Amino acid sequence: MNGAIPNADAHRIADALRAIVGKAHVLTQSEDVAGYLSDWTGVYHSAALAVVRPGSTGEVAEVVKLCNARNIALVPQGGRTGVCGGGVPVAGSPSVVLSLTRLNAIRSLDTDGRTVIAEAGVVLEALHEAALKLDLIFPLMFGAKGSCTIGGNLSTNAGGSNVVRYGNTRELCLGLEAVMPDGSVINALSGLRKDNTGYDLKDLLIGAEGTLGVITAAVFKLFPAPIARSTAFLSVDKLESAITVLNRLQDQTGGGVEAFEYIPQPAVDVICKVFPAIRRPLEGPVAAGILVEVASSRRHDSEQMEDGSIRLEADVMKLLTELMDEGLVLDAMIAQSEQQRADLWKMRESILEAITESGPAYHLDISLPLARIAHFVEKMDAEMLRLGFQPLTVGHLGDGNLHYALSAAEDQDWATLRLETAKEKVFAELTELNGSFSAEHGIGQSKLSVMAKLKEPAQLAVMHSIKTALDPNNIMNPGKLLPPG
Ligand code: FAD
């Protein structure tokens, strides 16, 4: 139980919640709630009065009204794969965790309009599967797809590997159903692609990390499923050249690059060390390692050529040969089967776990203008090595996002390293280069201090005004996203 309010009140609140969602869906025993009180990082823990699992939007609205009337904080929660402590309660405020996982229906799939309406608790991978049955895709893609929910994806404006082609979650969403902090329900699920009737409330709620309301359902765009694909791992001579390779591939394939992921040698090494079953993609050393995937839904691209190859694969191969002749690509492994493609993606999606398993590290999730990435990495890697850190970098390079993790160099003791100095150097360089200190994971609890320091004061002030206007009692996920003040 949360110690911040008397036990008798806590019991009364739990009873009132049971009256709304049913006895089985209010958890209060410590062994039942424990799993809901930390996220993937395991860093953030706190207590909660209860975990509530509503089964409908109406029940969510009643729970929100109750908590608003009694000034109880509500922490919306999806799959708990967030990496910033956004989905777990903070100490000090009596909180109810609102798990959306029972809202897991795909309400409708419109094949003509190519849209889908899904509830917040639908697991991302389940949405992939539902779309694929109709030869369509929902292109949001990343390692946590088997556990994260679309409510969490919307609330963090998740990105992942396919942003280079399809955009992030915001760009995939056409409208929302949501419960606002006073318990009112907004229903904007028409799926219209044009609707200029005032402020776009979906854009306010997307990326708000549950601080402005509870998302209960959303309507998303779907896309034709690719019927031809080419996946390869490249060793590019240097990071700067990788941007040229990206643009040449885009030109050659009519913007067909679906993923362009940066995986340099230190990242390959840590993955293969922690997961020995994962094979190295290339026999020799990797310079700027790139996992690239190009795809097309055009019949023309999937036609078989005289030599038996598929046209898209042949086009990619021709370009890669040119790039090798020019010295931009040093080596390449092209997936020859679905299994080889899956192996390459397994390697990419294992990196976060590999870094976490291999010892203490500080994870930065940053973005930069494409033209400045190489400069940033070269300068910061040198600085970090001087400070005793081994940078372990991977990134969704095609959209300018780097996951820049700082681990201890082999001969160094993490406890003695000057992490604050390292962070200051990185943030100063980001500011200089017009980058962002949070590309796709959000702010949560973990980036509040850098948000206070680096976000433009005028923008922060507007955000505070919006929060106060919509949630005057500050019940929605307090202590997240907005630094105090
Ligand atoms: P949770 O962790 O449960 O919650 C996240 C935030 O959303 C919290 O602030 C919570 O309060 C809020 N929230 C959840 N549901 C709702 C709702 N219905 N209404 C209002 N607020 C809500 N992220 C990326 O963007 N790109 C990646 O490539 C990526 N790769 C990852 C790889 C791994 C292995 C892991 C573990 C995580 C990765 N993530 C990535 C981070 C994470 O998966 C995403 O942030 C994901 O969108 C979180 O979804 P979730 O359902 O787990 O949300």
Band of the pLDDT at 1, cuts 50, 70, 90?
A: very low
Q: What percent of the chain has pLDDT over 90?
A: 94
Q: How many angstroms does the Cα of residue 190 sit away from the middle of ligand 1?
A: 25
* The pLDDT of residue 367: 98
User: How far, rounded to the nearest angstrom, does the alpha carbon of residue 110 sit from its chain's CA centroid?
Assistant: 26
- Reported as a single tens digit per residue, the pLDDT across 178-231 is 999 999 999 999 999 999 999 999 999 999 999 999 999 999 999 999 999 999
Q: How many angstroms does the Cα of residue 147 sit away from the middle of ligand 1?
A: 9
The best mutation among 81, 122, 214 to test binding of ligand 1, ranked by most ligand atoms within 8 Å of the C-beta, falls on 81
2 pLDDT more than 50 = no
Q: Cα separation of 380 and 395, whole Å? A: 15
User: How far, rounded to the nearest angstrom, does the alpha carbon of residue 124 sit from its chain's CA centroid?
Assistant: 11
Return the H-helix or E-strand segment holding 452: helix 448-454
Site of tokens 């009364």: 12
- Reported as a single tens digit per residue, the pLDDT across 157-185 is 999 999 999 999 999 999 999 999 999 99
Query: Whose C-alpha lies nearest to ligand 1, atom 44?
Result: 82
Q: How many angstroms does the Cα of residue 78 sit away from the middle of ligand 1?
A: 7
Q: How many angstroms does the Cα of residue 86 sit away from the middle of ligand 1?
A: 8
Sign of CA dihedral 341, 252, 397, 124: negative
CA distances in angstroms from 164 to 238, 257, 260, 401, listed in the order given: 20, 7, 8, 10
Question: What type of residue is 239?
Answer: L
Please give the number of the atom of ligand 1 that sits closest to the Cα of 440: 25
Q: How many angstroms does the Cα of residue 241 sit away from the middle of ligand 1?
A: 32
The best mutation among 63, 77, 347 to test binding of ligand 1, ranked by most ligand atoms within 8 Å of the C-beta, falls on 77
Q: How many angstroms does the Cα of residue 124 sit away from the middle of ligand 1?
A: 10
3 pLDDT more than 50 = no
**Mean pLDDT (whole number) for 402-419:** 96
The burial class, CB within 10 Å (0-12 / 13-18 / 19+), for 415 is: exposed
**Mean pLDDT (whole number) for 364-384:** 97
- Phi, psi dihedrals of residue 402, rounded to the nearest 5°: -115, 135
Q: Cα separation of 404 and 398, whole Å? A: 15
Query: Whose C-alpha lies nearest to ligand 1, atom 38?
Result: 144
**Ligand 1 pocket list (CB less than 6 A):** 39-40, 75-83, 86-87, 100, 120, 142-144, 148-149, 151-153, 155-156, 158-160, 209-210, 214-215, 352, 440-441, 444, 477, 480
The best mutation among 40, 102, 148, 356 to test binding of ligand 1, ranked by most ligand atoms within 8 Å of the C-beta, falls on 148
Query: Whose C-alpha lies nearest to ligand 1, atom 46?
Result: 153
Q: How many angstroms does the Cα of residue 382 sit away from the middle of ligand 1?
A: 32
The burial class, CB within 10 Å (0-12 / 13-18 / 19+), for 7 is: exposed
Q: Mean of the per-residue pLDDT values for the chain? A: 96
Q: What percent of the chain has pLDDT over 70?
A: 99
Please give the number of the atom of ligand 1 that sits closest to the Cα of 480: 9
Would you state the structure tokens that stand for residue 28, as one six-digit string? 């209060």
Residues linked to residue 259 through DSSP beta bridges, in sequence order: 293
- Phi, psi dihedrals of residue 154, rounded to the nearest 5°: -65, -45
Q: Cα separation of 307 and 275, whole Å? A: 37
Please give the number of the atom of ligand 1 that sits closest to the Cα of 143: 32
The mean-pLDDT minimum among 2-6, 316-320, 463-467 falls in: 2-6
Strand order in the sheet with 288-296: 329-334, 228-236, 288-296, 257-262, 389-396, 401-408, 361-367
Query: Whose C-alpha lies nearest to ligand 1, atom 42?
Result: 82
Non-local CB neighbours of 285 within 8 Å, separated by 6+ positions = 235, 265
CA distances in angstroms from 321 to 87, 333, 378, listed in the order given: 47, 12, 27
Please give the number of the atom of ligand 1 that sits closest to the Cα of 39: 2
Q: How many angstroms does the Cα of residue 477 sit away from the middle of ligand 1?
A: 14
91 pLDDT more than 70 = yes
* The pLDDT of residue 94: 87
Dump the DSSP string for 260-321. Answer: EEE--HHHHHHHHHH-TTSPPSSSS--SEEEEEEEEE--HHHHPBPTTS-BHHHHHHHHHHH
Q: Cα separation of 74 and 20, whole Å? A: 15
432 pLDDT more than 90 = yes
Q: How many angstroms does the Cα of residue 159 sit away from the middle of ligand 1?
A: 10
pTM to 2 decimal places: 0.96
Please give the number of the atom of ligand 1 that sits closest to the Cα of 481: 9
- Reported as a single tens digit per residue, the pLDDT across 46-81 is 899 999 999 999 999 999 999 999 999 999 999 999
Q: How many angstroms does the Cα of residue 209 sit away from the middle of ligand 1?
A: 9
Q: How many angstroms does the Cα of residue 158 sit away from the middle of ligand 1?
A: 7
